[in-house]
Amino acid sequence: MKFGVVVFPGSNCDHDVAYALKEKLGQNVVFLWHKEKTIKNCDFIILPGGFSYGDYLRSGAIAQFSPIMQAVEKHANNGGYILGICNGFQILCETKLLPGTLLLNKHQKFICDNVFIKSTNQNIFENKKIYKIPIAHAEGRYYCDDSTLKDLTNKKQIIFKYCTKEGEVNLESNPNGALKNIAGICNEKQNVFGMMPHPERACDENLNNTDGKIILESIVSFCKKKRVSFKQK
């Protein structure tokens, strides 16, 4: 698969995720400047973390209007794969490619820490591992209305929840006040994914944490299988 990492003014995790995909997962990776109007025949688009456009107005609010996003939205609507990490997740919610929104953290402070998350979608993540993944955000509190939450739950679109080291989902393990401890979701077609934690920051043995590599590998593997199944039909 060919991966395209979109670079906005203010992105600061673009090279991190490109390194993880290329050096640790052995994938073909190119950078896509935000002013470009095509995605260069990429199969999988990454919207990386950072502070696109300085987070002016609202995180992701300006980035949604970048020229590249028209091609990204078309790619998603055609069944192409997209992963938004942190600011990328915020952008996906602004464009309505994913439901809900990301609000200011409960205590209205920037949080930079390691947290534990667990998968709630065994279709994508076959193992039941508890992942230790870094977060770094000020607007990471996921919120949606009751109707949307019901759909997310019934259609198994919630892919990650914040939890304790033992896997218990409770208030104490929720770092930002996110609704129902939600740390990541996907769309109904399961081709667009968004998460606040940074898996690309936990992919190198030198950091003594490769949990993020497992997450990225699982998403890539799921998409490859889905792609093959789609072609066979």
Mean pLDDT value across residues 218-232? 71
Cα–Cα distance for residue pair 155/157, rounded to 1 Å: 6
Residue 53, pLDDT score: 84
Query: Which residues belong to the active site?
Result: 86, 198, 200
Closest alpha carbon to 84 in 111, 67, 102 = 102
- What's the pLDDT at 233? 32
Does position 229 have pLDDT exceeding 60, yes or no?
no
For residue 231, pLDDT over 90 is answered with: no
For the cut 70, the answer to whether the pLDDT of residue 128 exceeds it is yes
Spacing of C-alpha 142 from chain mean position: 13
Q: Is the dihedral of CA 129, 135, 138, 139 positive or negative?
A: negative
Q: What is the pLDDT of residues 147-195, one digit of tens each?
A: 999 999 999 999 999 999 999 999 999 999 999 999 999 999 999 999 9
Q: What is the DSSP letter of 97?
A: S
pLDDT band per the 50, 70, 90 thresholds, residue 126: confident
Contacts of 122 by beta carbon, 8 Å cutoff, 6+ apart: 128
Mean pLDDT for 64-70 is 93
- What share of residues in the chain are helix, strand, coil (percent, to 5)? 35, 25, 40
Is pLDDT at 228 greater than 70 in this prediction?
A: no
Q: Give the chain's mean pLDDT.
A: 93
* Number of neighbours of residue 175 by Cβ within 10 angstroms: 23
Dihedral sign (CA 80, 99, 181, 112)? positive
Nearest to 87 by CA among 230, 211, 194, 217: 194
What burial class does residue 120 get, using C-beta atoms within 10 Å of its C-beta: 0-12 exposed, 13-18 middle, 19+ buried? buried
Map residue 80 onto helix, strand or coil: coil
Q: What is the mean pLDDT of residues 91-104?
A: 96
Has residue 127 got a pLDDT over 80?
A: no
For position 227, what pLDDT does the model report?
Answer: 64
Tokens 């066979």 correspond to 232
Share above pLDDT 70 across residues of the chain, in percent, rounded to a whole number: 97
Mean pLDDT of 77-97: 96
Mean pLDDT confidence for 16-29: 97
Q: Catalogue the E-assigned strands of 15-100.
A: 28-33, 44-47, 81-85
Residue 125 token pair: 């993540």
Over the stretch 23-62, which tens digit does the pLDDT of each residue have?
Answer: 999 999 999 999 999 999 999 999 999 988 887 777 878 8
Cα separation, 62 vs 94, in Å, equals 9
Domains of the chain by start residue, with CATH? 2-232 (3.40.50.880)
Q: State the average pLDDT over residues 8-36.
A: 96
